[in-house]
Structure 1
């Protein structure tokens, strides 16, 4: 019975979340058409709303730890669900994403992503996609902000290992900026697929910076070690391993 009630609450939460996306998208449209800042503030307002409504509608609290960057840096995060996108974008002042090309066709979301300066990537073309991504990032460098990337390239289930891709290192070298790693456990409560939202505390943690200037190999090794280690600690905190008596 408890599961059924929580499932129903999750359905209501998801429906209103997308309704509010449309309503806020329309409300902020005049400002967004005039300036990128209008689009960014629309996105940040929506992200904060989703976190607030998740807290009282489905019992899912959110917490941002560490120090979100305010200068021009690359933010490289673990990606488990839509919630880490929401929490990271809501925490930084002027975020823009490396995102899959298909999202440009999403109503409201796609139009605002273009205005914010997000870079769309065709993941099916591999090497060619990396070259186009680098060119697009270079072309959009005049728009200041925090470039948010997911170095594993896709959403990854909690506890699952997936390699970090070379495109992240290529961006790090081209930008010549510090990189701020981000760990998370949001997938425990907001899965990458499905409707059910589990009550609890979802955390996004901004970790100490990786300074600019490392080699590709050293950067990727350091990034993976720091993000995976911190994410594992957050999974433990969230109770992911409690079912294992030997953990």
Structure 2
């Protein structure tokens, strides 16, 4: 995919009613993509993103779907094709697992099982030249080699399991002409996860900021995710965004 190839293409971005997902959707729309905004519960928030994209001259729809419900995931992917005629880019941005009220296996169900299910549902409808972008964190990508905060271990392990499950599918995807790339970022200023972690472990954000030099904003990280939707990289590429040097050093030492 070249950077001029988004005109007339369609992108589904999971978890895109706010934050990194919403900003990624707006950036892809600005490059000419038709975008599908996915939300789990907050329809008004998703509709606001759609309105902003349309007011800027782009095309978008909002589709509610809980990624842990297979029929809703298939409805989400079909909606892209029904509305715009194709599904060319799938950004697997939605994640979670720090919610205390959704069951102790929720992190694994959302961050591994649902990611794989979304990949399968989306790529069934993709044609040659499609691209899947999986969004993760350094804390998850390097979890086998580098310790993270106690409160984040379950989430990190589940996100890494999700990444591994997707990467295992690369040979089948390649046979269909579909690329898979991974974008990994540090803690991001202003996100729900960063706020929760800092609340659970006061000073965690400052410590990460010091180790990384600086932390990316939501808008800055979204720009890197959007870039990977069309970047000229090989399938299986892992784009490490900001502050990965200390993770790389620790994983090499271990």
TM-score strictly above 0.5: no
Normalised by the shorter chain, which TM-score bucket? Answer: 0.3 to 0.5
**TM norm structure 2:** 0.44
**TM norm structure 1:** 0.45
Give the number of the structure with larger relative contact order, counting CA–CA contacts within 8 Å between residues 6 or more apart. Answer: 1
Asked which structure has the greater CA Rg, the reply is 1
